[in-house]
């Protein structure tokens, strides 16, 4: 069952009913000011940091759910007098009133969401977006009277303020209920309601919610607006048809503006509600002096004035569209499969942008109050983002590398505001260091910008500890070599990619964190997955040294020694993995603290895990020996079902103290046998690399939102983005998705489909083109902006692999960047014509 | 305006409307299992620890508020067939349905709450309580058909489970939404719905919600019960008249039981819903084995069976009443003033029990997720509790003292589960140590149990550090002497009693904790308040040594040296306070980090503070010189208004970085000029001590809930208990109360009214009787159980102070315990007849 449809021309997903199985959301904002918005208008806004600078209040797991942050009420009034009463009230977003609408449509687009509704012949279009370069969310509401009678319509818009720190806001009531402060500015042109809690003391920021029209009432006290027992569906002020001009003193400040529209038949009017965030210099906080308590509103007036007419709003919308046009120009495909095209050209890349911006902080499942930026997460997110804005990727890499410790290990998370490692979570996740190699390699393959390798980058943010970034990579690789166990495999530490496989934790205390406790660290537990990573990213490190060592200041001898040493270590690790890491029909997952295998036929449960099969084959391990094919065949047979490939099987039915959190979940959910979407692309890539093109694509489509859109009633989450986990075949609810949006699946899927299936793959030398597609794809074109040129790539199935560049036939599948000379570029308007047969 | 009335005979407050200004709550439970319940049925339950072992879910500051933890739905059905539909549904607690009731009454009693309601001629009585000695909340519902027709009534009871850790439950959704697990047990007698989330792994506990009747349906999935957009007011299952027997897999498990009653005219039936908590030994967790996943239900069956009939429930209620009879027997008064009697005999003591049990953890304002037990808080709470159950007070004292550091300082908080100091909050609150002297003195004055002083008590819970408790007191006192500033006054440290007066913090970073940051600790800032404390509690320490030193193993010389040294230090501090600490018309509050006075006429704002006036006069400072009277006169003139005595004046209009949090609040709220109820009794005691009996009582009654009951529309919080703060005269909402129930006001008020106004005051030597009452009290009796005897105290106003004990006229006002010999006790049935004139 579907609840909407893709509108590819508009780059929108159009939701046709408010009653989606779960709220289906979108993200607004691309720089500092961000908002989440659901298909019924729920969500919240924050400035930079979802925990410390939350602007509007949102209650996770609430009953009723998804209400209260921004609420709009359209009240058809009995007449136009002062004593008019509401005939009926509805919301243009359906919630919170829940009044049945005659028409409803929610269009989630790139950085904006539009709600179209109609009721009683009154149609509305409510557009929400964050303009490029503005710290504001604009809610532009156009109302049209499609009846043949004049009507009086009262419009009320409301936001509920969060008292800045989202954690304190929801816990520290003995303080919070006394701190709320507001100001009101109201004239014949507009009403601006200011939220200035704690501005008196240490804050230099406030927020406002304005309306560009004269209002007939406002409220800033939530209790005054809602009444004693009412929710956002039935505020007493809305029922009464009258706001009370309340001033909040503590408790819960809100901003509610009410305006009356008199609409002639066929008349349209547009209102602009602006949610703005303002910072002022410390010496300009006040209108006159601090004792007055009157805030300096000049910057608010300036921000307000930028969007105070429908025309200015339209210009800002056009600018936002231009912004996205520019970004999505970098990679596009015409494949003949509209589902593939829409995901590659729009939604995969859009989700990559969101994961890059949000990391794992703020979604409808991540509360925005817990995690910082993950070392592992952010490096991987970057793989799917680097082509969009390489400059931001460059900065992110340097931020991440600056939190690395000088032994090559890493803090597992760092805080985006301070950019410092998070000591509460600590380190010891032994896969972390190698992901830095992955992201730097991807950056170099995209840009050829060797200068990043020479950037002086500190360890643990300590002044004086700076070393070139290349040295960070060297330490990353050597950290693995220096931490190996009894089989010669890398030690797993607290966990590797799978945070829930905790082989040294041995926790028996409820609530104890599996990720930060080590009760039994014997230095024995090993990870076959990290072994695969080492082979893959160790090789990439050697490639980097080989190609850029000179530019990074190494002499030829040093380069050659380093490369030889690493390649030899890689070869050794490959052999160890194929021997000690091989179970017979698949790769073992790990060895536990007793050196017993995990993910082996010897185990009763958890006999096979997905991660080492994907990573080892991606690293090329077992390709020659046939073990790669054998492992992938086992994955298909034992882990793969209708909804994708599960993380392990059989799921654990009891808690295994020697394995940790993985065995805590009910069977078939999360790491205990769920389909953890993140590693499905690894299996797809692995299949592509060994030539299983049909299965490679089948893995992609089983798990790809657009391809399972018609099962949205089962999958439940948004059909335009990935979720972290789909309940596995051993669960009670197979196919049920959870934790949509903020998942490494976004980056890895785009890497997979763009670089391995469509096969347009940046390398250090240039763009590689080598498609791996099933039989029904025969004729495709890909456009790729790369290193300053635009590659027009025509792909045709002929059964033979050939590569022709600007008419010249080349060996292999790489278009050397060197070949795309300055001359070529200017001659051809920066265009490179590539023809590929396969 | 009132919203109910006191029923003193029943020891109840009877609320007559659901529409109280705020939820008015009660506490159930007295040992390990606790519940909060509001006058509309809201609240939640926990086992021992409101943060780590929360049983049912509660959303603070929710919209709509106060719903969802336990919901009852009575549905009058169209007929008795399987396809019957609801005619109307209401809640016997008004919420969550909000259906108007024909009758409504909520009776909050001692450890129980009863809801009486009627609708459509169906009357209901719903009694909620936690039985003595059981880990369960019983909800007993009696339904009576008062009409002359048979009716079919469906009754549905629902609780929403919290996933144990209240913090994780409200933040960690990426895990939580996949962990929920339930079991269902249903037969012809009953339905038991089990909540067993995480039982599979490290937990050895589960909960259940049962009904002692055959059910016609259940739900364990909240989504199935509520539907996509519905709140607790209108669950889809209730509207449909049919539950769906849903099994929760992750998301949000609930327990909903539905039963059908066929009621003849005038027929009554009683249903018992039980919310039970069960722990099982690790080796008995499962019915058969862990792989089955079926929990061992035997202990649940046993708990269930204890309350599975109306008769058993009535017995448990009787036992609860007995329990409270026994406790409240210890102190009672008949004064002729029903408001005084009800507060002293019932509500003050009840609130003291609740604050002793809860500290500051779980109320409708304290979210139960933050603070542990306060060193300062718990010592003070004990002052009002020690007479009720001295054995528990004794254990609490030893727990608190064990967290003291070996230099005499203290962790500011400790965790009730681990009983260890909380390093996140740290120490350095320099008033903390002296409160230990206060509580030990109170314990000794109550019990004469010198053995506590010899208890080997560790410092910072470290094995091997044990010293007798008396040594802890010595270090407490010496800590103050060893930390004095330029004037010879005690250094204030991070703060003293007023957590918000932060003289060394100097914070300019938003969100930074004023209590844990020291940016400018120059060791200069001094507290006149602690000076007063030192004089008071230093003297008490000397009294303790003098009286019990020998029993505690000191020789006569050591005793005499120690007592002389302390009394000399006390005298010195008294003099310093009267000189350096005196501003001219009142005591200065403190000296800041620049040695500038705080709370002085030299200041523009914050010229006078309440705390030093109360504490210094209680300590006897300035009594002879007239400064005490002068200070109290200034308090009356400058701080006292209709609603009580404000904490300071004038309130601060701007942030003062050198003063800290106190200046962050809006004017007139909290520590910035609010009426902080906690220190009003100090002013009352101080007035009593200097003979201002009228004003002493006036201070008590201005702030006393029962005396301002008729202004409940302004005060808003419960009229039967104190709140932390009433908005001050400089606020926008004078008289508005906040943060009811968990406040040190409870203990201090009971100390004030019982020991100083009524004047029945335990001392080390025996019971002192010296009333200080205004002119309209002339003839009173107090009954006091004390050191094994029952004192019947008759007080009469004659204008002359006399004391007669068992017919014998004594000098002074103390009845020496030695005089109440064993013989007297047995002769008089343990009764002591005391006659006092005043």
Interface check A179 vs B, CB under 8 A: yes
Cβ–Cβ contacts within 10 Å for residue A32, how many? 15
User: Confidence class of residue A417 from pLDDT cuts 50, 70 and 90?
Assistant: confident
Which two tokens mark A445?
């393959």
The mean of the pLDDT values for chain A is 96
Return the closest-CA partner of residue A502 out of A510, A491, A494, A513.
Answer: A494
| pLDDT of A708 above 90 | yes
Q: How far apart are CA B587 and CA B603, in angstroms?
A: 14
Report the pLDDT value the prediction gives residue A371, as an integer from 0 to 100.
75
Dihedral of alpha carbons B576, B579, B582, B588, sign: negative
Helices (H), A243-389: 298-305, 310-328, 338-342, 348-358, 375-383
Under an 8 A CB cutoff, do B663 and A201 touch?
A: yes
H/E segment holding residue A808 = strand A808-810
Chain B neighbours among A 22-61 (CB < 8 Å)?
A: 52, 59-61
Under an 8 A CB cutoff, do A64 and B19 touch?
A: no
Q: How far apart are CA A769 and CA A812, in angstroms?
A: 9
Query: Which position has the token pair 């003839």?
Result: B779
What is the number of CB-based contacts under 8 A between chain A and chain B? Answer: 202
Residues of chain A in contact with residue B362, where contact means CB-CB under 8 angstroms, are none
CATH 3.40.190.10 matches B4-324: no
Residues of chain A in contact with residue B510, where contact means CB-CB under 8 angstroms, are 164, 198, 201-203
Q: B134 and B316 in contact (C-beta within 8 Å)?
A: yes
Q: How far apart are CA B216 and CA B191, in angstroms?
A: 10
Which two tokens mark A4?
């909407």
Q: How do residues B643-702 score in pLDDT, each as one tens digit?
A: 999 999 999 999 999 999 999 999 999 999 999 999 999 999 999 999 999 999 999 999
Q: Is there a cis peptide before residue B421, judged by omega within 30 degrees of 0? A: no
User: Cα–chain-centroid distance for residue A815?
Assistant: 31
If you average pLDDT over residues A520-530, what whole number do you get? Answer: 93
Please give the backbone phi and psi of residue B15, each rounded to the nearest 5 degrees, phi first: -90, 130
Under an 8 A CB cutoff, do B231 and A64 touch?
A: yes
Please give the backbone phi and psi of residue A653, each rounded to the nearest 5 degrees, phi first: -95, -15
**What is the radius of gyration, based on Cα positions, of chain B?**
28
Interface check B9 vs A, CB under 8 A: no
Give the list of residues 6+ apart from residue B231 with CB closer than 8 angstroms, or none: A63, A64, A231, A233, B64, B67, B96
Taking CA atoms, A698 is separated from A351, A642, A747, A773, B552, in Å, by 21, 10, 18, 10, 82
Give the list of residues 6+ apart from residue A313 with CB closer than 8 angstroms, or none: A127, A138, A140, A270, A272, A307
Q: How do residues A552-592 score in pLDDT, each as one tens digit?
A: 999 999 999 999 999 999 999 999 999 999 999 999 999 99
Which two tokens mark A414?
């760092």
Helices B556-579 and B469-481 pack at an angle, to 10 degrees, of 30
| pLDDT of A80 above 90 | yes
Query: Which position has the token pair 């704690």?
Result: A198
Interface check A228 vs B, CB under 8 A: yes
Under an 8 A CB cutoff, do B171 and A367 touch?
A: yes
Report the pLDDT value the prediction gives residue A827, as an integer from 0 to 100.
59
H/E segment holding residue B636 = helix B627-639
Q: Is there a cis peptide before residue B673, judged by omega within 30 degrees of 0? A: no
Q: How far apart are CA A556 and CA A558, in angstroms?
A: 6
Query: Which position has the token pair 């009926």?
Result: A88
B627-647 CB burial, b ≥16 within 10 A, e <16: bbbbbbbbbbebbbbebbbbb
**Nearest residue in B to A511, CA atom:** B165
| pLDDT of A819 above 90 | no
The CATH class of A21-322 is mainly beta
Q: Where are the beta strands (DSSP E) in B548-599?
A: 590-591, 597-598
3-class SS of residue A510: coil
Interface check A468 vs B, CB under 8 A: no
Residues of chain A in contact with residue B60, where contact means CB-CB under 8 angstroms, are 170-171, 173
Residues of chain B in contact with residue A369, where contact means CB-CB under 8 angstroms, are 171
B82 given a catalytic annotation: no
| pLDDT of A392 above 80 | yes
Strands B191-195 and B182-186, how do they pair? antiparallel
Interface check A512 vs B, CB under 8 A: yes
Under an 8 A CB cutoff, do A664 and B201 touch?
A: yes
Q: Is there a cis peptide before residue A64, judged by omega within 30 degrees of 0? A: yes
B167-194 CB burial, b ≥16 within 10 A, e <16: bbbbbbbbbbbbbbbbbeebeeebbbbb
Return the closest-CA partner of residue A64 out of B229, B43, B62, B162.
Answer: B229
If you average pLDDT over residues A528-543, what whole number do you get? Answer: 98
Q: B256 and B218 in contact (C-beta within 8 Å)?
A: yes
Interface check A417 vs B, CB under 8 A: no
Which two tokens mark A586?
């698949």
Distance (Å) from the alpha carbon of A313 to chain B's nearest alpha carbon: 32
| Residue of A154, A448, A499, A592 marked active site | A499
Return the closest-CA partner of residue A724 out of A685, A672, A682, A675.
Answer: A675
Strand partners, A114: A107, A127
Chain A neighbours among B 603-662 (CB < 8 Å)?
A: 653-655
User: Cα–chain-centroid distance for residue B642?
Assistant: 25
Strands A779-786 and A4-7, how do they pair? unpaired
Report the pLDDT value the prediction gives residue A825, as an integer from 0 to 100.
57
B291-327 CB burial, b ≥16 within 10 A, e <16: eebebbbebbbebbebbbebebbeebbeebbebbeeb
Q: How do residues A301-337 score in pLDDT, each as one tens digit?
A: 999 999 999 999 999 999 999 999 999 999 999 999 9
pLDDT < 50 positions in chain B: none
| pLDDT of A823 above 60 | no
**Nearest residue in B to A728, CA atom:** B178
If you average pLDDT over residues A143-167, what whole number do you get? Answer: 97
3-class SS of residue B612: helix
The domain spans of chain A are 21-322, 327-622+654-674, 760-837
Residues of chain B in contact with residue A177, where contact means CB-CB under 8 angstroms, are 365, 738-739
Chain B neighbours among A 250-279 (CB < 8 Å)?
A: 250, 252
Q: How far apart are CA A160 and CA A221, in angstroms?
A: 9
Q: A130 and A140 in contact (C-beta within 8 Å)?
A: no
Residues of chain A in contact with residue B423, where contact means CB-CB under 8 angstroms, are none
Residues of chain B in contact with residue A249, where contact means CB-CB under 8 angstroms, are 666, 669, 731-733
**Nearest residue in B to A198, CA atom:** B664
Query: Which position has the token pair 């109609």?
Result: A118
Q: How do residues A191-229 score in pLDDT, each as one tens digit?
A: 999 999 999 999 999 999 999 999 999 999 999 999 999
B30-44 CB burial, b ≥16 within 10 A, e <16: beebbbbbbbbbbbb
Q: B397 and B439 in contact (C-beta within 8 Å)?
A: yes
Q: How far apart are CA B193 and CA A614, in angstroms?
A: 42
Give the list of residues 6+ apart from residue A430 with CB closer than 8 angstroms, or none: A409, A479, A480, A483, A490, A491, A492, A493, A494, A496, A527, A530
Q: A225 and A254 in contact (C-beta within 8 Å)?
A: yes
Distance (Å) from the alpha carbon of B249 to chain A's nearest alpha carbon: 7
Q: What is the fold, at CATH topology level, of the domain defined by A327-622+654-674?
A: Glycosyltransferase (1.50.10)
Q: What is the fold, at CATH topology level, of the domain defined by A760-837?
A: Maltose phosphorylase, domain 3 (2.60.420)
Cβ–Cβ contacts within 10 Å for residue A650, how many? 17
DSSP, residue by residue, B707-743? GGGGGHHHH-S-TTS-EEEE--TTSSSTT-EEEES-S
Distinct helix (H) and strand (E) counts, chain A: 21, 42
Q: A39 and A15 in contact (C-beta within 8 Å)?
A: yes
Report the pLDDT value the prediction gives residue A645, as an integer from 0 to 100.
98
| pLDDT of A99 above 90 | yes
Return the closest-CA partner of residue A630 out of A608, A644, A613, A647.
Answer: A613
């Amino acid at each position: 069952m579907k609840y909407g449809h893709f509108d590819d021309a508009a780059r929108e997903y159009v939701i046709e009913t408010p009653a989606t199985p779960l709220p289906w959301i979108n993200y607004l904002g691309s720089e500092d000011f961000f908002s989440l918005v659901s298909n019924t208008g729920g969500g919240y806004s924050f400035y930079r940091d979802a925990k410390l600078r939350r602007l509007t209040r949102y209650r996770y797991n609430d009953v009723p759910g998804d209400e209260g942050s921004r609420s709009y009420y359209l009240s058809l009034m009995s007449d136009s007098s002062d004593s008019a009463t509401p005939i009926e009230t509805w919301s243009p977003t359906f919630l919170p009133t829940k009044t049945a609408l005659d028409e409803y449509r929610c269009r989630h687009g790139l950085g904006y969401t539009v709600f179209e509704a109609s009721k009683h012949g009154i149609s509305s279009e409510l557009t929400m977006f964050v303009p490029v370069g503005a710290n504001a969310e604009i809610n532009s509401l156009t109302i049209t009277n499609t009846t043949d009678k004049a009507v009086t319509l009262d419009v009320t818009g409301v936001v509920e303020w969060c008292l800045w720190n989202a954690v304190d806001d929801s816990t520290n009531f003995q303080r919070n209920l006394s701190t709320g402060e507001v100001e009101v500015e109201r004239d014949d042109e507009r009403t601006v309601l200011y939220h200035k809690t704690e501005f008196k003391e240490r804050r230099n920021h406030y927020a406002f919610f304005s309306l560009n029209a004269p209002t007939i009432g406002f409220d800033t006290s939530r209790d005054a607006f809602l009444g004693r027992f009412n929710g956002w569906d039935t505020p007493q002020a809305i029922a009464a048809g009258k706001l009370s001009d309340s001033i909040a003193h503590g408790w819960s400040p809100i901003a509610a503006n009410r305006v009356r529209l008199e609409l002639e038949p066929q008349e349209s009017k547009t209102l602009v509600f602006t949610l703005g965030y303002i910072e002022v210099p410390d010496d300009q906080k006040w209108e006159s002096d601090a004792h007055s308590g009157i805030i300096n509103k000049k910057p608010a007036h300036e921000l307000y004035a930028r969007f105070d007419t429908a025309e200015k709003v339209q210009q800002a919308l056009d600018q936002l569209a231009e912004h996205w046009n520019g970004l999505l120009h970098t990679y596009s495909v015409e494949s003949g499969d509209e589902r593939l095209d829409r995901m590659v050209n729009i939604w995969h890349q859009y989700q990559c942008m969101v994961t890059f911006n949000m990391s794992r902080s703020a979604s409808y499942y991540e509360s925005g109050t817990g995690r910082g930026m993950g070392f592992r997460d952010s490096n991987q997110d970057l793989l799917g983002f680097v082509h969009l804005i390489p400059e931001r990727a460059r900065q992110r890499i340097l931020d991440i590398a600056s939190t690395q410790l000088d032994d090559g290990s890493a803090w597992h998370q760092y805080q985006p505001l301070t950019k410092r490692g998070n000591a509460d979570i600590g380190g010891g996740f032994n896969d972390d260091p190698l992901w830095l190699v992955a992201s730097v390699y991807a950056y170099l393959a995209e840009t050829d910008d060797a200068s990043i390798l020479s950037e002086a980058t500190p360890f643990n943010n300590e002044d004086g500890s700076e070393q070139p970034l290349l040295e960070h990579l060297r330490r990353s690789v050597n950290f693995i070599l220096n931490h190996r166990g009894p089989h010669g495999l890398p030690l797993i530490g607290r966990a590797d990619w799978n945070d829930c496989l905790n082989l040294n934790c041995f926790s028996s205390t409820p609530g104890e964190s599996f990720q930060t406790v080590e009760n039994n660290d014997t230095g024995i537990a090993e990870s076959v997955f990290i072994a695969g990573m080492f082979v893959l990213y160790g090789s990439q490190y050697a490639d980097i040294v080989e190609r850029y060592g000179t530019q990074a200041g190494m002499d030829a001898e040093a380069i050659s020694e380093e490369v030889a040493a690493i390649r030899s270590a890689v070869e050794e690790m490959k052999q160890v993995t194929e021997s000690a890491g091989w179970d017979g029909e698949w790769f073992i997952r790990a060895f536990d603290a007793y050196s017993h295998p995990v993910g082996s036929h010897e185990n009763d449960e958890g006999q096979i895990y997905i991660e080492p099969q994907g990573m080892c084959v991606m690293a090329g391990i077992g390709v020659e020996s046939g073990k790669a094919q054998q492992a992938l065949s086992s994955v298909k047979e034992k882990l793969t079902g209708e909804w994708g490939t599960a993380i392990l099987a059989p799921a654990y039915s009891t808690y295994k103290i020697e394995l940790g959190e993985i065995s805590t979940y009910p069977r078939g959910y999360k790491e205990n046998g769920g389909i953890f979407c993140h590693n499905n692309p690894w299996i797809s890539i692995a299949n592509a690399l060994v030539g299983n093109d049909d299965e490679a694509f089948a893995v992609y489509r089983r798990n790809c939102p657009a391809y399972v859109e018609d099962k949205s009633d089962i999958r439940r989450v948004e059909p335009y983005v990935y979720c972290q986990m789909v309940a596995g075949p051993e669960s009670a609810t197979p196919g049920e998705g959870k934790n949509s949006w903020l998942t490494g699946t976004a980056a890895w899927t785009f890497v997979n489909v763009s670089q391995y299936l469509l096969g347009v793959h940046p390398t250090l030398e240039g763009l590689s083109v080598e498609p791996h597609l099933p039989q029904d794809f025969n004729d495709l074109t890909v456009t790729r902006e790369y290193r300053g040129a635009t590659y027009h790539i025509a792909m045709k199935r002929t059964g033979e692999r050939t590569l022709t560049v600007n008419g010249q036939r080349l060996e292999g599948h790489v278009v050397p960047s060197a070949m795309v000379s300055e001359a070529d570029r200017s001659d051809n308007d920066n265009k490179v014509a590539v023809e590929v047969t396969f």
